A and B are shown apart, each in its own frame.
Chain A
Amino acid sequence: MASVVIVDNGGSNINSVCFALARLGVNARLSCDPDAVAAAGRVILPGVGAAGAGMSRIQQYELADCLRQLHQPVLGICLGMQLLFTHSAEGDTPCLDLLPGTIERLPETSAARVPHMGWNQIRIQQPDPLLEGLDQGWFYFVHSYALTADKHPHALALTTHGQPFVAVVRRKNFYGAQFHPEKSAAAGRKLLKNFMEL
């Protein structure tokens, strides 16, 4: 199986991502070295925390250009997905600009508390091998920011919390999931397995 590098961006969920891959029999390496990232068969960009801190960490290790030039399958998880877009309103942060769009704070209502925390369902907009067998699947979300839209040219799936937002995205080899597949039981295992088989 192709080698997997998890970009070590300092988030506390990195171990959880490693454990989830290990349960699939995948031995992933943690690294923030651009050469190791570029040489990987697959790259996972995790992330918990704020967009500004996430981008400065990427810049600190001179990973921005490396990430932009990757041609192997890349999966951004949660904040890692948000960093693939052009810009985040969280701390007014310029991001990697691999996908068009601005990440905004989820609007808070009495029916939709923020952070959006818990299990929610995805609706597939565009079939893709990553989401094979996962329409209407339940995934675990923890976030306050998202790409709120009822359509987006690169959206593979949407979820609704008060209003619709992009749950899964793809442009070329760059994939992103707003939820945490590593914490999403059978549906998450299936998504990670699909990613390994791309």
Chain B
Amino acid sequence: MLKQYLSEDTMQHKTSVDNWEEAITVAARPLLNKGVIDESYVEAMIDSVEKNGPYIVLKDYFALPHAQAGAGVNEVGMSLLTLEESVDLKGNEVKVFLVLAAVDASAHLDALSEVSQLLMDDEKYEVVLQGDLEKIRQLIEEGNE
């Protein structure tokens, strides 16, 4: 379940960052601090964008940074960074970064499916884009009802 991963200590809001690499690094920091991921996973997420292109931008303003399951990942985790000012990610403006750390092909799927339902709902997505963490948490709670 999504709320199991996205809680107060894994959600951050910032006014701005200098570039998308910094955004991914900042977004991933709570997972790093909790020991969910290792430093190598953060590097792998950045390398992947360099190598595979910006397909982690799943829709306007939203990116899902991730890399190989289980490589530098100790347990399933997600962390969120919302930005007041969007940052360029290889030609795409992004305001919301949701870091995904997977251990295998399936353990995170329920949570990911909740994320996708949230983002495909225009009204809810608008709330996510506004970046108010308290409101986003409410949405996540409601999603579980």
Partners in one complex: no
Q: Which residues does A use to contact B, with CB under 8 Å?
A: none
